[in-house]
Amino acid sequence: MGRLDGKVAFITGAARGQGRSHALRMAEEGADIIAVDVARQLPTVEYAMSTPDDLAETVRQVEALDRRIVAREADVRDYPALKSALDDGVAELGRLDIVSANAGIFSQGRADELSDESWDEMIGVNLTGVWHTAKAAIPHLKAAGGGSIILTSSTAGIKGFENFAHYVSAKHGVVGLMRTLALELAPDMIRVNSVHPTSVDTPMIQNEMLYALFAPDLEPAERTRERLAERFQAMNALPVPWVEPVDISNAVLWLASDESRYVTGVMLPVDAGATTK
Protein backbone atom coordinates (compact mmCIF):
# COMPACT_ATOMS: atom_id res chain seq x y z
CA MET A 1 0.00 0.00 0.00
CA GLY A 2 1.30 3.41 -0.96
CA ARG A 3 0.80 6.47 1.21
CA LEU A 4 -1.04 8.24 -1.64
CA ASP A 5 -2.92 5.35 -3.24
CA GLY A 6 -5.93 6.53 -5.22
CA LYS A 7 -4.98 10.20 -5.05
CA VAL A 8 -4.19 12.73 -7.78
CA ALA A 9 -1.54 15.43 -7.37
CA PHE A 10 -1.19 18.68 -9.34
CA ILE A 11 2.42 19.89 -9.55
CA THR A 12 3.67 23.08 -11.17
CA GLY A 13 7.26 23.46 -12.32
CA ALA A 14 7.28 19.70 -12.88
CA ALA A 15 9.69 19.45 -15.82
CA ARG A 16 12.83 19.06 -13.73
CA GLY A 17 14.43 19.80 -10.36
CA GLN A 18 12.23 19.79 -7.29
CA GLY A 19 9.03 19.55 -9.33
CA ARG A 20 10.07 16.37 -11.11
CA SER A 21 11.31 14.95 -7.83
CA HIS A 22 7.94 15.68 -6.18
CA ALA A 23 6.12 14.02 -9.07
CA LEU A 24 8.24 10.89 -8.87
CA ARG A 25 8.11 10.65 -5.09
CA MET A 26 4.32 10.95 -5.07
CA ALA A 27 4.01 8.49 -7.95
CA GLU A 28 6.14 6.02 -5.99
CA GLU A 29 3.53 6.25 -3.24
CA GLY A 30 0.61 5.60 -5.59
CA ALA A 31 -0.51 9.03 -6.83
CA ASP A 32 -1.38 9.93 -10.40
CA ILE A 33 0.06 13.24 -11.57
CA ILE A 34 -1.03 16.42 -13.33
CA ALA A 35 2.22 18.11 -14.35
CA VAL A 36 2.57 21.68 -15.59
CA ASP A 37 5.66 23.64 -16.59
CA VAL A 38 6.36 26.77 -18.62
CA ALA A 39 9.10 24.80 -20.46
CA ARG A 40 10.74 27.85 -22.00
CA GLN A 41 13.18 30.61 -21.16
CA LEU A 42 11.95 33.76 -19.40
CA PRO A 43 13.63 37.11 -20.18
CA THR A 44 15.02 38.02 -16.75
CA VAL A 45 16.31 34.56 -15.81
CA GLU A 46 20.04 34.15 -16.39
CA TYR A 47 20.32 30.36 -16.09
CA ALA A 48 18.93 27.85 -18.60
CA MET A 49 15.33 27.02 -17.78
CA SER A 50 13.37 23.84 -18.49
CA THR A 51 12.40 22.66 -21.96
CA PRO A 52 9.62 20.57 -23.52
CA ASP A 53 12.08 17.66 -23.56
CA ASP A 54 12.48 18.00 -19.78
CA LEU A 55 8.72 17.80 -19.31
CA ALA A 56 8.57 14.76 -21.60
CA GLU A 57 11.24 13.10 -19.45
CA THR A 58 9.13 13.66 -16.35
CA VAL A 59 6.24 11.95 -18.15
CA ARG A 60 8.48 9.03 -19.11
CA GLN A 61 9.74 8.55 -15.56
CA VAL A 62 6.28 8.73 -13.97
CA GLU A 63 4.89 6.26 -16.50
CA ALA A 64 7.83 3.95 -15.76
CA LEU A 65 6.44 3.78 -12.21
CA ASP A 66 3.15 2.54 -13.70
CA ARG A 67 1.28 5.70 -12.77
CA ARG A 68 -0.87 7.92 -14.98
CA ILE A 69 0.23 11.44 -15.82
CA VAL A 70 -1.28 14.36 -17.72
CA ALA A 71 1.34 16.97 -18.69
CA ARG A 72 0.79 20.41 -20.17
CA GLU A 73 2.94 23.44 -20.95
CA ALA A 74 1.52 26.50 -19.20
CA ASP A 75 2.79 29.68 -17.55
CA VAL A 76 1.50 30.01 -13.99
CA ARG A 77 1.04 33.75 -14.61
CA ASP A 78 -1.54 32.92 -17.30
CA TYR A 79 -4.56 31.92 -15.22
CA PRO A 80 -6.83 30.77 -18.07
CA ALA A 81 -4.07 28.53 -19.49
CA LEU A 82 -3.19 27.14 -16.08
CA LYS A 83 -6.82 26.45 -15.19
CA SER A 84 -7.40 24.77 -18.55
CA ALA A 85 -4.39 22.49 -18.00
CA LEU A 86 -5.62 21.52 -14.55
CA ASP A 87 -9.20 21.03 -15.67
CA ASP A 88 -7.98 18.74 -18.48
CA GLY A 89 -6.03 16.70 -15.97
CA VAL A 90 -8.93 16.36 -13.55
CA ALA A 91 -11.25 15.38 -16.40
CA GLU A 92 -8.86 12.60 -17.41
CA LEU A 93 -7.77 11.39 -13.98
CA GLY A 94 -11.09 11.87 -12.21
CA ARG A 95 -10.30 13.97 -9.14
CA LEU A 96 -7.80 16.21 -7.36
CA ASP A 97 -6.44 15.70 -3.84
CA ILE A 98 -3.00 17.32 -3.64
CA VAL A 99 -1.47 20.54 -4.93
CA SER A 100 2.24 21.32 -5.01
CA ALA A 101 2.67 24.96 -6.05
CA ASN A 102 6.34 24.52 -6.85
CA ALA A 103 7.00 26.61 -9.98
CA GLY A 104 9.53 29.35 -9.36
CA ILE A 105 12.38 31.38 -10.82
CA PHE A 106 15.46 33.03 -9.39
CA SER A 107 17.45 36.12 -10.31
CA GLN A 108 19.54 38.66 -8.46
CA GLY A 109 19.99 42.38 -8.02
CA ARG A 110 20.07 44.98 -5.27
CA ALA A 111 16.71 46.56 -4.49
CA ASP A 112 17.65 49.98 -5.86
CA GLU A 113 19.08 48.50 -9.05
CA LEU A 114 16.38 46.00 -10.05
CA SER A 115 14.51 46.69 -13.26
CA ASP A 116 10.72 46.82 -13.25
CA GLU A 117 10.79 43.81 -15.58
CA SER A 118 12.82 41.74 -13.10
CA TRP A 119 10.55 42.71 -10.23
CA ASP A 120 7.34 42.05 -12.14
CA GLU A 121 8.50 38.71 -13.54
CA MET A 122 9.64 37.49 -10.12
CA ILE A 123 6.44 38.50 -8.34
CA GLY A 124 4.38 37.21 -11.25
CA VAL A 125 5.86 33.71 -11.21
CA ASN A 126 6.78 33.24 -7.55
CA LEU A 127 3.75 34.85 -5.90
CA THR A 128 0.93 35.51 -8.36
CA GLY A 129 1.59 32.11 -9.94
CA VAL A 130 1.23 30.42 -6.56
CA TRP A 131 -2.09 32.19 -5.99
CA HIS A 132 -3.25 31.19 -9.48
CA THR A 133 -2.33 27.57 -8.76
CA ALA A 134 -4.33 27.49 -5.55
CA LYS A 135 -7.24 29.40 -7.07
CA ALA A 136 -7.55 26.96 -9.97
CA ALA A 137 -7.34 23.95 -7.66
CA ILE A 138 -9.67 24.94 -4.83
CA PRO A 139 -12.98 24.05 -6.57
CA HIS A 140 -11.65 20.58 -7.39
CA LEU A 141 -10.41 20.02 -3.83
CA LYS A 142 -13.78 21.08 -2.44
CA ALA A 143 -15.47 18.66 -4.82
CA ALA A 144 -13.23 15.87 -3.49
CA GLY A 145 -14.21 16.64 0.10
CA GLY A 146 -10.84 18.07 1.11
CA GLY A 147 -7.16 17.83 0.32
CA SER A 148 -3.72 19.29 0.84
CA ILE A 149 -2.07 22.34 -0.72
CA ILE A 150 1.69 22.69 -0.32
CA LEU A 151 3.25 26.01 -1.31
CA THR A 152 6.98 26.15 -2.00
CA SER A 153 8.53 29.13 -0.26
CA SER A 154 12.20 29.29 0.81
CA THR A 155 14.48 30.21 3.67
CA ALA A 156 14.03 33.59 1.96
CA GLY A 157 10.42 33.41 3.09
CA ILE A 158 11.62 33.40 6.70
CA LYS A 159 14.58 35.82 6.72
CA GLY A 160 16.05 38.53 4.53
CA PHE A 161 18.95 38.20 2.10
CA GLU A 162 20.92 40.88 0.32
CA ASN A 163 20.75 41.05 -3.48
CA PHE A 164 17.38 39.28 -3.76
CA ALA A 165 14.75 41.84 -2.69
CA HIS A 166 12.23 40.68 -5.29
CA TYR A 167 12.76 36.99 -4.48
CA VAL A 168 12.57 37.56 -0.72
CA SER A 169 9.43 39.66 -1.13
CA ALA A 170 7.73 36.99 -3.22
CA LYS A 171 8.66 34.17 -0.86
CA HIS A 172 7.48 36.12 2.20
CA GLY A 173 4.26 36.78 0.29
CA VAL A 174 3.77 33.05 -0.16
CA VAL A 175 3.71 32.70 3.64
CA GLY A 176 0.97 35.31 3.96
CA LEU A 177 -1.03 33.56 1.26
CA MET A 178 -0.54 30.19 2.97
CA ARG A 179 -1.74 31.46 6.34
CA THR A 180 -4.81 33.09 4.84
CA LEU A 181 -5.74 30.07 2.72
CA ALA A 182 -5.29 27.79 5.73
CA LEU A 183 -7.97 29.77 7.57
CA GLU A 184 -10.30 30.20 4.62
CA LEU A 185 -10.20 26.56 3.55
CA ALA A 186 -10.17 24.80 6.92
CA PRO A 187 -13.99 24.43 6.99
CA ASP A 188 -13.68 22.44 3.75
CA MET A 189 -11.00 20.12 5.23
CA ILE A 190 -8.39 21.55 2.88
CA ARG A 191 -5.03 21.91 4.58
CA VAL A 192 -2.50 24.51 3.43
CA ASN A 193 1.17 24.57 4.43
CA SER A 194 4.47 25.87 3.09
CA VAL A 195 7.91 24.30 2.75
CA HIS A 196 11.07 26.37 3.09
CA PRO A 197 14.15 24.82 1.49
CA THR A 198 17.71 25.99 1.85
CA SER A 199 19.79 25.74 -1.34
CA VAL A 200 18.74 22.67 -3.32
CA ASP A 201 21.07 20.91 -5.76
CA THR A 202 19.30 21.89 -8.99
CA PRO A 203 20.13 24.13 -11.97
CA MET A 204 18.57 27.07 -10.09
CA ILE A 205 21.70 27.27 -7.90
CA GLN A 206 24.28 25.39 -9.96
CA ASN A 207 24.93 28.13 -12.50
CA GLU A 208 27.47 30.81 -13.31
CA MET A 209 25.21 33.70 -12.28
CA LEU A 210 24.94 32.50 -8.70
CA TYR A 211 28.53 31.28 -8.58
CA ALA A 212 29.71 34.78 -9.51
CA LEU A 213 27.56 36.30 -6.78
CA PHE A 214 28.85 33.89 -4.12
CA ALA A 215 32.49 34.05 -5.24
CA PRO A 216 33.27 37.42 -6.86
CA ASP A 217 36.86 37.05 -5.67
CA LEU A 218 37.43 33.98 -7.87
CA GLU A 219 38.14 33.96 -11.56
CA PRO A 220 35.39 32.35 -13.66
CA ALA A 221 37.54 29.27 -14.29
CA GLU A 222 37.98 28.84 -10.53
CA ARG A 223 34.26 28.90 -9.78
CA THR A 224 33.77 25.15 -9.72
CA ARG A 225 31.05 23.21 -7.97
CA GLU A 226 33.61 21.96 -5.47
CA ARG A 227 34.96 25.45 -4.67
CA LEU A 228 31.48 26.93 -4.36
CA ALA A 229 30.34 24.18 -2.01
CA GLU A 230 32.36 25.84 0.75
CA ARG A 231 30.53 29.15 0.22
CA PHE A 232 27.10 27.53 0.18
CA GLN A 233 27.89 25.48 3.30
CA ALA A 234 28.48 28.69 5.26
CA MET A 235 24.74 29.41 5.01
CA ASN A 236 23.72 26.22 6.83
CA ALA A 237 24.12 25.04 10.42
CA LEU A 238 24.62 21.42 9.38
CA PRO A 239 27.91 20.90 7.52
CA VAL A 240 26.35 20.45 4.06
CA PRO A 241 26.38 22.91 1.14
CA TRP A 242 22.93 22.06 -0.16
CA VAL A 243 20.20 19.46 0.11
CA GLU A 244 18.90 17.11 -2.57
CA PRO A 245 15.53 17.53 -4.31
CA VAL A 246 14.25 14.33 -2.70
CA ASP A 247 14.79 15.87 0.74
CA ILE A 248 12.18 18.48 -0.12
CA SER A 249 9.99 15.87 -1.81
CA ASN A 250 9.88 13.79 1.36
CA ALA A 251 8.60 16.81 3.29
CA VAL A 252 6.04 17.56 0.58
CA LEU A 253 4.97 13.91 0.61
CA TRP A 254 4.38 14.01 4.36
CA LEU A 255 2.29 17.18 4.05
CA ALA A 256 0.36 15.58 1.18
CA SER A 257 -0.36 12.37 3.08
CA ASP A 258 -2.84 11.54 5.81
CA GLU A 259 0.07 11.31 8.24
CA SER A 260 -0.22 15.11 8.53
CA ARG A 261 -4.03 15.14 8.44
CA TYR A 262 -4.34 17.76 11.19
CA VAL A 263 -1.38 19.91 10.17
CA THR A 264 -2.33 23.21 8.54
CA GLY A 265 -0.98 26.75 8.51
CA VAL A 266 2.57 25.54 9.16
CA MET A 267 5.90 26.79 7.80
CA LEU A 268 8.14 23.71 7.45
CA PRO A 269 11.84 24.47 6.96
CA VAL A 270 13.96 21.84 5.22
CA ASP A 271 17.03 23.98 5.54
CA ALA A 272 19.93 22.18 7.25
CA GLY A 273 19.49 24.68 10.07
CA ALA A 274 19.98 27.75 7.88
CA THR A 275 17.21 29.76 9.53
CA THR A 276 18.60 29.10 13.01
CA LYS A 277 21.80 31.01 12.18
Residues forming the active site? 167
pLDDT attached to residue 1: 86
Q: Write out the residue limits of the CATH 3.40.50.720 domain(s) in the chain.
A: 8-202+244-267
Q: What is the mean pLDDT of the chain?
A: 98
pLDDT in tens, 33-70: 999 999 999 999 999 999 999 999 999 999 999 999 99
Fold type of domain 8-202+244-267: Rossmann fold (3.40.50)
- In single-letter form, the type of residue at position 95 comes to R
Q: What local confidence, expressed as pLDDT, does residue 55 receive? A: 99
Question: Whole-angstrom Cα distance, residue 261 to residue 180?
Answer: 18
What predicted TM-score, i.e. pTM, was given to this entire model?
A: 0.97
